[in-house]
Amino acid sequence: MGLTLTEKIIKAHIVDGEMVKGTEIGLKIDQTLTQDATGTMAYLQFEAMGVDRVKTERSVAYIDHNTLQSGFENADDHRFIGSVAKKHGIWFSRPGNGICHQVHLERFGKPGKTLIGSDSHTPTGGGIGMLAMGAGGLDVAVAMGGGAYYITMPKVVKINLTGKLNDWVSAKDVILEVLRRLSVKGGVGKVMEYTGEGVKSLSVPERATITNMGAELGATTSIFPSDETTLQFLKAQGREEDYVPMSADPDAVYDEEVDINLSELVPLAACPHSPDNVKSVEEIGKIKIDQVCIGSCTNSSLQDMRKVAHILKGKTVHPDVSLAIAPGSKQVFNQIAEDGTLSILIAAGARILESACGPCIGMGQSPNSKGVSLRTFNRNFLGRSGTKDAEIYLVSPETAAVSALTGVFTDPRTAGDMPAYVMPEKFIINDNMVVPPASVEEAPSVEVLRGPNIKPFPVNKPLAESIESGVTLKVGDNITTDHIMPAGAKILPLRSNIPAISEYCFTVCDETFPKRAKEAGTSIIVGGVNYGQGSSREHAALAPLYLGVKAIICKSFARIHRQNLINNGILPLEFVNEADYDKVEQGDRLVIANIRSIVENGGQIIVEDKTKGFSFEVKCELSERGKGMMLAGGLLNYTKNGK
C-alpha cells in the first residue's frame, strides 16, 4: 500500500510510537522557529532545561510581532531574545527582517523536513513540502533541546485540486472555500494534503497562503508536494541544493477526500467574526468600507504586492478609506522598492507599514468605531483588531485593493485585466539581518540581557488527589485563545510578564474574570466545542495557571491549546454527555474526587455539582506521557523528574 506525503515524512522522523492513526507519536524535529510574542517564554523555558546548545539542524528566533515599542518592554524582549539566541546556537532574525513564516519560507525551509514553531501559522512551510506544525513554546523549547515533538498520528485528507483559477480569483479564495466547507473545527486531528492537476498552476507563495490559513481549520498542518515549481522557487532564492522532490505515492490511501475545481471558484470573504463564516463577495453586496489592510503572513508575498500595485496604478485610494500595506519580509520590501512597485503603492495613497505582523495582531491600525475593515489576514476574531465593535472581513489581495479604490465591498472581477505574475529568476538575497549564533568556543562568554519586564514563568504543583472549586467562568463554543488571552498594542508588551498579563485574561468575554478568579483562589472554567482554537499562545494556559485555574471542562478542545494545558498541568476534561454543559452554571461549586488516582490508574471521572446537587461524567484521554505530565504538574516538572 502506498504512502501519503504526510506519512512519508512522519515515517522518516518517527522516534516513538507506531504509525497508527489516533495514537500518540514522537517526531524528531529538524527545524524550529519562534517569534517574539511567544519566544521570551520559550527561551526562559529552554534556559530552565539547562541545555547549552540547540540540537536541531536549524533554529531561528524571529522578531516580528511586538515591534511597536511604545515602551521599553518590547525592545527589552528583543535584546533578551537576541542574546539568548546567540548564546545557544540559534539564528536571530532582527526586527525589520520580516514576518517569521514569510522569511522562513524564503530563506530556511526545506522540503521533507520537520519544523515546529511557537506560532500557529507555522504550517506556511507546507507550501514547500515541509511537515510544519504550530506548537506551544514549551514544546519548541524541548525540540530545541533535542526532544521529540508529540502529536496524535493524524488522519490524512486528500484535497484534490482540478482546473485552474480564473483571473481575479486567488489562493485566498481556495482556502476560504475549504473553510466554508469544513469549518474551523473540520481539520482537528487531520493533515490536509493537496494533490491533483490543479497544484501545478499554483506558485509557492500561493501554496503557502493555503497552508498558512489551514491553521484556521484546526488542522495539525497542511502540505503541498515539492515539485518543479518548488525547485524554481528555491533556485530563485539561491537555494537549489535544498530541493528534494516529494510527493505521495500514486496508490496512497487517504482517510477522506475533498474535490475542489479551481475553475469554479469565485471571490470569497470570511465575514465577522470567524474565518469559516464565508460568503461570496457578490453575495455580501456593496457595503461601505472604512479600512483596508494588506499583508500578514497569509498574503504579503512579492506576487501579492505586485497584484495590488497593478490594481492601484495611477489611481487614488477612496477618500473614505484608509489603506495600510505591510510587505511580508525585507526581501519583498527591497524587491518592490527596486522594481517601482512601492512607488505605485505610495502614489495611490497607501500607508506603508514595516515588515511585521502589525494590524494582524492589533499592533496599530485599529479601525474606527463600528468600522468595516477588509483584510488579507487569516483571523477576524472579535476584538482582535483592537476595536471591539469593528467588522472584520478576510479577503484576497485582489478584493482588498479593488475595494480600497471604490470605497465599497467590490467583486474584483469587474476590474479589467490581471496580467500573469512572473516570478523573478533571482530574488534579492541579502541575509544581513539574520545574526548567526556565537561559536561553541565563544558562547559561554555571551551575556544574556534581561529587562525588568521579564518575570519568571509560573510552574505548577503536582496534581492534587481531589479538586474542589467554583466555576468562575462559563463560555460558549469556539472560544479562541484571543478570547482567553487577548493581544493588541496594550497587552502584547506584557508577554514576558505573566502576573501583569493575567490581569487581562478573558477580559474580552468578561472584564471581571481576573479579579474573581484571584479572589476565588482556585477555579474551574466551563466551555463549549473547539475550546482554545486559533493562536498557539501558551499564555492562554500560563495566565489561567497563574490565576489558579485547575481544570477546563468543555465539549471539545483545539489541538495546540489542549497540549499547552497538559504541558502546564491544567486538566483538560471533556463532557461525556454534552447536555450536561447546559446544567452547569457559573458560580456552581464542583468536586472532582480522586482525580490523581484516576489519571494514574484509569477509571470513570465523576464531577459532583454541589450547588445543583447532581453529578456528571467527564473524560480525560491522555497518553502515558500525558499522564506523567499531568501528575507531575506539567512538562517541565516531568522532564526534571528524569523523563
Residues belonging to the active site: 64-65, 119, 379, 535, 537
Nearer residue to ligand SF4 within complex by CB, 99 or 271: 99
Q: For residue 221, state whether it binds ligand MIC (rule: CB under 6 A).
A: no
Nearer residue to ligand MIC within complex by CB, 134 or 359: 134
Q: How far apart are CA 407 and CA 227, in angstroms?
A: 40
Residues 6+ apart with CB under 8 A from 109: 31, 115, 125, 128, 130, 132
Contact mark string toward ligand SF4, 283..322, x via CB under 6 A:
-------------xx-------------------------
For residues 356-385, which are near ligand SF4 according to CB under 6 A? Answer: 357, 360-361, 377-378
Q: For residue 394, state whether it binds ligand SF4 (rule: CB under 6 A).
A: no
Nearer residue to ligand MIC within complex by CB, 37 or 632: 37
Q: Is the peptide bond before 483 cis (omega within 30 degrees of 0)?
A: no
Nearer residue to ligand SF4 within complex by CB, 171 or 360: 360
| 25 contacts 269 by C-beta, under 8 angstroms | no
Q: How many CB atoms lie within 10 A of CB 369?
A: 10
Q: How many CB atoms lie within 10 A of CB 284?
A: 17
Give, to the nearest 10 degrees, the angle between helix 204-213 and helix 100-107.
140
| 580 contacts 611 by C-beta, under 8 angstroms | no
Provide, rounded to whole angstroms, the least separation between the CB of residue 607 and ligand MIC: 31
Provide, rounded to whole angstroms, the least separation between the CB of residue 269 and ligand SF4: 17
Residue of 97, 396, 536, 568 that binds ligand MIC (CB under 6 A): 536
Provide, rounded to whole angstroms, the least separation between the CB of residue 503 and ligand MIC: 17
Nearer residue to ligand SF4 within complex by CB, 274 or 639: 274
Q: How many CB atoms lie within 10 A of CB 317?
A: 19
Q: How far apart are CA 436 and CA 390, in angstroms?
A: 42
Residues 6+ apart with CB under 8 A from 597: 465, 603
Q: For residue 36, state whether it binds ligand SF4 (rule: CB under 6 A).
A: no
Q: What phi and psi, each to the nearest 5 degrees, are found at residue 292?
A: -135, 130
Provide, rounded to whole angstroms, the least separation between the CB of residue 296 and ligand SF4: 4
Nearer residue to ligand SF4 within complex by CB, 210 or 629: 210
Nearer residue to ligand SF4 within complex by CB, 356 or 573: 356
Strand 149-152 to 351-352 pairing: unpaired
Site residue total, ligand SF4 (CB under 6 A):
11
Site residue total, ligand MIC (CB under 6 A):
14
For residues 429-468, which are near ligand MIC according to CB under 6 A? Answer: none
Q: Choosing among ligand MIC, ligand SF4, none, which partner's interface includes residue 169 (Cβ < 5 to 8 Å by kind)? A: none
Contact mark string toward ligand SF4, 127..156, x via CB under 6 A:
------------------------------
- Helices of type H across 113-227: 137-144, 171-182, 204-213
Sign of CA dihedral 489, 493, 499, 500: negative
| 97 contacts 330 by C-beta, under 8 angstroms | yes
Q: Choosing among ligand MIC, ligand SF4, none, which partner's interface includes residue 536 (Cβ < 5 to 8 Å by kind)? A: ligand MIC
Q: For residue 537, state whether it binds ligand MIC (rule: CB under 6 A).
A: yes
Question: How many helices (H) does the chain have, and how many strands (E)?
Answer: 22, 27
Sign of CA dihedral 407, 413, 417, 418: positive
H or E element, residue 279: strand 278-280
Q: How far apart are CA 297 and CA 95, in angstroms?
A: 15
Contact mark string toward ligand MIC, 347..366, x via CB under 6 A:
--------------x-----
Q: With CB under 6 A as the contact rule, which of the stretches 267-275, 353-361, 491-499, 563-571 interacts with ligand SF4?
A: 353-361
Q: For residue 38, state whether it binds ligand MIC (rule: CB under 6 A).
A: yes
**Exposure string for 320-339, b = 16+ CB within 10 A, e = fewer:** ebbbbbbbbbbbbbbbbeeb
Provide, rounded to whole angstroms, the least separation between the CB of residue 359 and ligand SF4: 9
Provide, rounded to whole angstroms, the least separation between the CB of residue 481 and ligand MIC: 7
Q: Choosing among ligand SF4, ligand MIC, none, which partner's interface includes residue 58 (Cβ < 5 to 8 Å by kind)? A: none
Q: Choosing among ligand MIC, ligand SF4, none, which partner's interface includes residue 296 (Cβ < 5 to 8 Å by kind)? A: ligand SF4
| Cell triple for 227 | 515539485
For residues 115-154, which are near ligand MIC according to CB under 6 A? Answer: 119-121, 134
Q: Residue 222: which of 271, 179, 170 has the closest Cα?
A: 179
Q: With CB under 6 A as the contact rule, which of the stretches 186-194, 388-396, 468-476, 530-538 interacts with ligand MIC?
A: 530-538
Nearer residue to ligand MIC within complex by CB, 84 or 463: 84
Q: For residue 8, state whether it binds ligand MIC (rule: CB under 6 A).
A: no
Q: What phi and psi, each to the nearest 5 degrees, are found at residue 260?
A: -130, 120
Which spans of this chain sit near ligand MIC (rule: CB under 6 A)? 37-38, 65, 119-121, 134, 361, 379, 487, 534-537
